[in-house]
Structure 1
Amino acid sequence: MDERGLGLIGALLEQRYRVDALLARGGMSSVYRGLDTRLDRRVAIKVMDARFADDQTFVDRFEREARSAAKIHHPNVVAVHDQGVDHHPGGDLVYLVMELVDGGTLRDLLTARGGAIDLPLAFAIVEPVVSALAAAHRAGLVHRDVKPENVLIGHEGEHGTTVKVGDFGLVRAVASAGTTSSSIILGTVAYLSPEQVTTGNATSRGDVYSAGILLYEMLTGVTPYTGDNPLSIAYRHVNDDVPAPALTVPGLPPALDELVVRATRRDPAARPADGAAFLAELQALRAHLGIPRVGVPVPEPTLADRTVPVSPVEVERARSWTPPPSSDAMTSDATSDGGVLEIADATRPATPVPALPAANATIVRQIPAGFQAAGPQGTRAMLRADLDQLSAQELGPPSLGTPPPQLPPPHLSGPMMMPPPPRPPVNRRGRIVLWSLVSVLVVALVSTGTWWFVDGRWSTVPEVTGLDLVTAQEKLADSDLRAEVERVPDNTVEAGVALRTEPASGNDVLRGEPVRLIVSSGRPKVPDVREGATLAEAQDAVRAAHLNPATDDGINEYHDSVDKGRVIRLDPAGGTPMNLNERVEIVVSKGPEPRPVPDLRGKSHDEAFAELQALGFEPVDLEPQYDAAVPGGYVIGTDPAAGTVLEVGQKVGVVASNSITVPDLGGKSADEATSIVAGLGLQLQVQEIGGRNRVLGQNPAASSNVPPGSVIIVITTI
């Protein structure tokens, strides 16, 4: 941490936000851990670079973008709490107060995992990212700078994790500042959409492109394009197709390749329209491939990147270089946290200008040819004029040949030195003829090259609407275009008939390039969803069929074999033709229907337990009680009482009788009667009236039910 980062530590912005520690710093801003002293809440404070504070255009745009971002209330969007301008002794400070996410970034996770992550984890991250973009797009906000450094992964609750997207609108605010111009390309070069490079237009489809590159990087560990400099990478976004991830990581599902390629098409109209459309395709693909849901580990924040120190000697050597007077210097502020690289103003110097590193500057290590390092990616400001110059170099007409090398004259010395031979006479007429031929050839080549690059390599997309699939494909092939068929449902056009092309008919496309041929698959049909599927699975399947899933407690049903919360069926049933986005009701099980507790009085203990278990209740024994009418061991009641309606699975207490049936002691001797009664837990009282010492009578009578410990009176004779 240097003095610039330490300068604000301990400051109280606008008498409310205390700056505690520097978390990260880029070329446009620094991010601090802080405290909202009014609400006693931990926050993140982004303080913009001082050069923006005096730019009223930027301040106004910054405030508007902050207000717009604060309106997005979504669990996967970093919440914006406040914004303001603090009048600091060292100058005004423009700042933004945000939710503090306790964790690291997706870049930290990719670094910890060696670049690539597995498919379930990639989906666990990209879905909430795209969900956040969908929320922003619904609010009319475009992110413009989707990259791993802006995807935060943090702890949530006691054991959970969350994925959040930050920095909504910041790039747009910077783009409006007086420090930039319309000739500047602003963004992170590895993730820039082609239209951001060529026109500066940023739309929801541009965010989809960047999210597609993000998914590509998570799956492969690299970004798709590499180049000698940022402009060459930007050039490849405009002129190359993003390759399928499986070309780098064999074995990935073809359907996944198709989705990544579709999301990153150069033509914006060929991509999903916005975050919501891309999210629906991701969810449908998850359901189709059966990708399991997994938790996202929270990475440790790291400052490590692919850099090595530059020696002080190299620094001083770079500092000592002086540019030509007419040159506009090139400045950089490279950071390990994904900061800004700015290429100043509109004219590239005639002589290459080396960057002037600071004393602690770093240089990037070499990576294998053909790959872009999956490391920290900075938001970059580049000149569109430079891109045009690069395009002219790449696409210009073929050269007539490389001029012969200019060799130095031989250095002759010593006694053997001889004078050069006399020059032969110059054939001026032949030279004129030769140059005339060369001129004609140059004109012919330039004309041919100009025709090819302006007109010849392009083909116009023909009109195919209403044609059958085979005829439409043949018509595109006749125009030297390659048809990529995509079937979509349509309410009125029968299956197999062409609906449109993307790009639309009349547009010019490079010969041999793919054109999406959209063909009707007929009216959408209700999908077949298995009984017992989860609600999320059913909703994904219905959305993938271009229908509208609906749930309502009023249509849910009790079911003895389908678990509570699982799907019983769809209404209408699977296979039923519907209109696009028509409502399909998902009937969900409420579990087994509640039922009354049965009357078990007088039944044996085993019979009572078996009957309760058959009804789905859980029987438990309660303390026995005395009942004169029910023999011992038989049920006298339940708790809850018979007739009480309970949900299946609840406990029902069983109360058994503890009464003892009095035995018949007639004719027994006093000793025998005493032994029998004691064995039953009763007591015997003998009354002798003479005679033969045999029981003549007893009270209570035989077969009576008495409480344990009762006294039995018998009369005997001596």
Structure 2
Amino acid sequence: MATVTTDPLVGRLVDGRYEVVSRIARGGMATVYLAVDRRLEREVALKVMHAHLAEGASGADFVSRFRREARAAARLTHPGLVAVYDQGLDGDTSYLTMEYVAGTNLRRTMLTERTLPLGRTLDVLEDVLDALAAAHRAGLVHRDIKPENVLLDTDGRLKVTDFGLARAVNEVTATTTGTILGTVAYLSPELIATGACDARTDVYAVGILAYEMLLGTVPHTGTTPIQVAFQHVNNDVPPPSDVAPWIPPEVDDLLCALAARDPDDRPADAGAALALVRSVRAALDPADLERRVDPPAGGAPEAAAVAQGAGPADDEHRSTAATASLATLSLQDREAAGLTEPLAVGHVVAPTTRPGPPPPPAPPPSSRRRARGRVVAWSLVVLLLLAGAGGGAAWWFSSGPGAYTEVPGGLVEASRTEATTVLDDAGLRHTIEERYDDAVPEGAVVVTDPASGEPVRKDGSVLLVVSKGVRMLTVPTGLVGATEDEATAALEGADLTVGDPVPQSHDEIPSGQVMAVTDAEGNAVEEGATVRHDLPIVLTVSSGPAPVVVPQVTGSEKAAAVQALEDQGLVAAVTEEYSESVGTGLVIRQDPEQGSDAHRTDTVNVVVSLGPPLVEVPNTYSMNVKAAEKALTDAGFRVEVRHPQGISPLNIVYSQDPAGGDGRTAPKGSTVVINVF
């Protein structure tokens, strides 16, 4: 009857936040689960470290390094890198949450297709190196590049994963047991021989990966890890054209440069390697890019399986990589392989030859024979003691405590020259890496790896990270007059920090257009000037004319009304019309009305009174006074009757003022005087 193994973590809520849904894979250092982040309601990949890594004297050191490396990996942002979201400790469980990438990995693709076309091989190289270049610029080395750590999502996009874990595990185990962890098929010669590594170590692994994609097998194979290690240290990677003569010499040169045994013969980092790959691609015949090497005949040989880390899958058959530990290699094996530094010795290795069993009992010997037997026995004891002492001394000085010393103190913030002098005096080699730092002056040491006080092999190397000072960037030109979106994009493209924009009203500059560029304190920043990378650049952006409230001008005199509107930044549009109720020169009405919201430069329509309308004056000459009054009143005038010559019974109009007839006009409502006799 089959036994079903239930993972106790499935269904559990880790750290009160991550609900474990299922197990994805199990490797030599961690188990990966599909989980749901309840807080952000998204799927994540939850990587849980194996408990034994946090046990023992080095457990706390591992947890500390693991957290540090996780924080460093979390700072990496690149579409080709699996994002690290969080890390933490839930009880005894150290975990890491990462972007969940649905799909497969490069190993499964290669197992299916066996070999890849030349063009596709170069595509994968460009994507992997582009992602690694971002890490190398940030001072991080992957240390475990292999097909299992190159993921392909459902859209075919590549993402590199597992930054930081290999470094954290390797640093702890290497300093306590002398063990180097990694997939032996991709380990660089210097990592095998001395444990030292830098960005060129990743470049070497990418070269081996390229060889495997192109030819269907790794260049160095063997039945045991030591055989593979021996070939890495002592044999150059053969040109791919040895297997497929059609492969162009440019590709031979590329792979041999990436996987050169001497680190100095390789590109300095992934960025340089990427440039080399692109230049080689540009020089190739497009027809060659479509060709592929015939897969090796039959199945993968056992030796190749050992070299590639292939082994039995885990209990769910989901293991994506087997990690080869070189901790069990004896000194004799190391010397036979030509490795000058022990890869891993966690204990005193006993001599490989031991005395055989004592001979069967013989008849009682004579005293001379007994004496000879005692001499032989003591000789064997002495030989065994000498062999044990020699082996112990060899272990002590090659991999034991005698092989290590402490990194000197006082290196951080010392000048580059001072730090290298201290290391030279201590008999330690050093490598230099430069990077910008906002706090440490240019030319001073920012950090060392290993840190001061930590163990390092006496023939090992200490990495000095030297400050290049504050990173200075150039402010782009053409910002003033551009739109806010255009200026923001230009600043972000120059890696500058953009602060919150400051809106400012302006009567003439359109809304959304940049008026000025300043720093966070409001000081003007000239375009083309050099500023600190972390200096926030603030854009002063026009918000258009300022808002105003329309004042009351109805009933005001024309000049006063126009002035009141102009004082608010408004434009008065004056028209005139007759009015019987509003006096001449006064505002009859306005639009918009009083209290309305408007903006400076908006127009307010103002209607000014011309006074009463003009109407035709009737001619009342020779009319009876009553008839004359009625005619004038009907025309809209007031009538004043005068008798300059005294009252007469005739009551006939003989003159009027203003005169009437012939189209003569006067304001409606005005007074017409008629003289009567």
**TM-score category (smaller protein):** 0.3 to 0.5
Structure of larger gyration radius: 2
TM-score by length of 1: 0.42
TM-score by length of 2: 0.45
